[in-house]
Structure 1
Amino acid sequence: MGAFDSPKNPGTPIGWVLAINKAAVNKAASKAAPAASAGRQAAKAGRQRPAAAAALSATTTANASAADNWLDVQLSDSAAQLSNGDGLCYYDLRGELVGMAINRAEPAPSGRPGQWRIWPKDPIASLKDLRKDLTINRNRDMHWQRMLERPSSQRRIGLWATLSEPQPGQLLLQLSDEDGFAASAQAAHPQQAPRQPQTLAESERAAAQQLQRFGNTMFEPLAVQARLQQSWFLPASLLNHLRRDALAALEAARASGYVRPPRAQPVEPPAPFPEDTLTYLANVLNHQAHAFYLKHGVQVIDAAYEADQELGEVSLMITKHCVRYSMSLCPKQAKGVIGVKGTIKAEPLHLINGKERLTLRFDCKPCEMHVVGKIKPGVLAQQRQAQQQALAEGVPMRFYRQRPAGTRHV
């Protein structure tokens, strides 16, 4: 078998190169020339090998100032953004993909929409065929990856909280959520002065910060305010207890005020099923499933495999795992390989386990392997015996208000 190249992601076009800092290229070239000359002289003198001289030249080229190692790009979408760590790429003059990782990205000094200045990870002089007006692709979007890494299944309900002191020695916490529900809780406090002198604004700020901790509840604070008559020492345990009582009251108010949405009406006429024929693989075993597919336009419906109506060879299992692929006998592997192409066909194979013989058939278009066989006589006899026993014990009688559709007099 021939060797296959690893696939590369070219990304999507996002813009083009506006300008390249000439200082980075000129500085790298000016440093590389003396180093290369010194390397050649050292090699001639026998004090250094040519390979070491080339390594010295490459090292000095890569040591260009990082501050000058930048280029400006224009994004096709002026609302798009670049992030530190993004992966860019482009095609060189030979049509090969060249990667360019971003160390830092910020809006260009020109201030025009869609213009960004980027500092690549590698020296600009080492990026092959990088030039002005070259189309730039992005194959790694760090902003998008960070969004995917965030929790996506958590839904929080925003609420507003207000702590007030309606009477001396009495605290009132009022909660109202964005759905219009409201609740409150009260607690008494001993009106203790703070241990360290605090202004009224500092005391209110400390109380608001303590009340913002809603933890793993379904609520998210949108705004928390504290309005006290004077600076008090409010223990954290008191505020936590007040918050828990108010949240419990709010959840009870939401539960009592919940209105169940109306039941959705069925679509008329029923949506047609994509296929008009179903095999045993659809697993239609009872009359309700049969009626459902008839309602949606299926013409031919085979019974499920457990109904004992498929007595011939059928696909017992369909897998993506392919024995031919594991044995390097896959026709797709041989595609394009000189001397092998056309000599390998997806002929059936057999699995033999004692007296049991299963056939392996290969469907190469969807890349699937079918394990084909017949139902075992012992299993068939056991299922029929269970059916006869159920009939002997009695089958529940079912009454209809009117004759079911599709039936007739016998």
Structure 2
Amino acid sequence: MSSQTPRYSIELLAPARNAEIGICAINHGADAVYIGASSHGARAAAGNSVEDIARLCNYAHQFGTRVYVTVNTLIYPSELKEVEKLIGRLYRVGVDALIVQDPGILRLDIPPIALHASTQCDIRTPEKARFFQDLGFSQIVLPREMTLEEIRAVRAATSVPLEGFVHGALCVSYSGQCYASLHCGGRSANRGECAQICRLPYDLIDGRGRVLAKGKHLLSLHDLNRLDDLPAMIDAGISSLKIEGRLKDEAYVKNTVSAYDRMLRKMGVERTSAGTVEREFTPDVSRSFNRGFTTHFLYDPRATGVAAHESPKSLGAEIGKVQSIRGNRIELQRPALLANGDGLNFLFRDKTVGFRVNRFEPPKTIICTGHNAPEGLKPGTILRRNADKRFADILAAPSTARRTIPLTLTLRRNGDSLILDDASGAAAAIDFPKADEARTPQADARRRVIAKLGDTPYSLLQLTDMLGNEFVPASVLTRLRRELTETLSDAMACSMKRELRAPEKADAIWPEGTSLPPEANIANPLAEQVMRSHGVTGTIERAPEAGGSPAAVMTMRYCLRRELGRCLLTEAGREWPEPLTLIGAPRPLTLRFDCARCLMQVL
């Protein structure tokens, strides 16, 4: 980044399916969590009551950790008042910001809560990013598909923090531009009801009717993993590092958040929240659910190897090759260390076949359940582990990490007052005249009392005791400790003043023309008002969810031709005549290739 580009402290942003998982994410190192409200949260299966969100806010704010709530679906006219009331309630319980898609929210009668522009807003260009900043959005979530160069261009054009995905499932289409669920079944991803059309198996048919691929998951991508790319992303201008996964379980969140927190601490970057984490395990993202990993298009907009055509399931890491089979006994060549209860799988006739390890006899023998090995298993077959029993048991423990704010304290006397102060400047004082010297050493006993911080977010890192051998009752020290922790918590609460929404600039102009197609996702009159007030004077077509007809069902940077080595700009590509069609969804899907912009569309 240039010296003129703003730099922000780094935020590790974690998903929370519910308040318990949100608290778990905080305990394992998250600087912020995002969670769905009871409605309009883009994940219909991950809604939460306002009361639960309030509980999460109260816990998070002890560490300076922020809570963002997703209200990022399109809003129908009949729902505007309901959303208005919901936002008011969320603000009153302490939510720090909303992640939103529908611009109509700007015209609701709501408190001045900060707004973040969701990835559903499809902000791919510097001009569009600047427009959303000028509307008053205080953080912008960028598409997963963007390259480092494209991120730098957005960073140079804006001054608000930029949020980028670092880990988790990948949508094949640009977010906000996927209408496949609506097209095939009447559900809508922009309404929180994605039907996972991209994870289905397909046959690929060319213009001559030839079957080019059969039963392959041709639109299913690997999972994102940018653990080793954090320095590059931060250097390009990303300050909020987002882990995908509001439908993921607690074990996944523990492991993934821990891996990224540990990497950021190793890098020594300044963070947006306080505290250190002590873990009872070593994180390893390869041992949690994943479809294989990719950095996507971070370094190359024409990257290949980003798709998982064999299966949309978690296959796991290779653990060995079958050497021989005898009944239900499987001998492996140089296997990894297995455990009873591990889940293994292999590919057979283009399908994933899974089975459990009933018993493992080191160094290389698996005993299967039943009398025989699974059908299709034979010598030479590669086995993978997609359920790691030993690691799962570790993560299932009720306490796998403890987060505290370490204190460096000084205990001293000033006249008739005892003072306990922290290196940050906070202090507590109690009137207690000096007593006689004790007959036995007192420093260790005083330290034990002051270190009893278990019901607080604090831990004792260092105590400088300047009282010599003076006797001080434990009750006095306990009172002094409690007063100091209350002072520290009050100071944290004061520092957690919520960012208010920036004013909307009247001269902000929509950068993509004076008319809006259905893909602009305008679903209510208030959203239309916003766009009319910012340069849209022509036709505004309704969002597909409100009756509009999009030009494409999906638009994506991923290109199936390129992935399969059949780019239209090559001789090999021209051997597959147009149109290419995917058969496997409720409706046939025709592919269109925009070679000028290197995009693929599904029609």
Shared fold per TM-score greater than 0.5: no
Structure having the higher Rg: 1
TM-score (norm 1): 0.38
TM-score (norm 2): 0.28
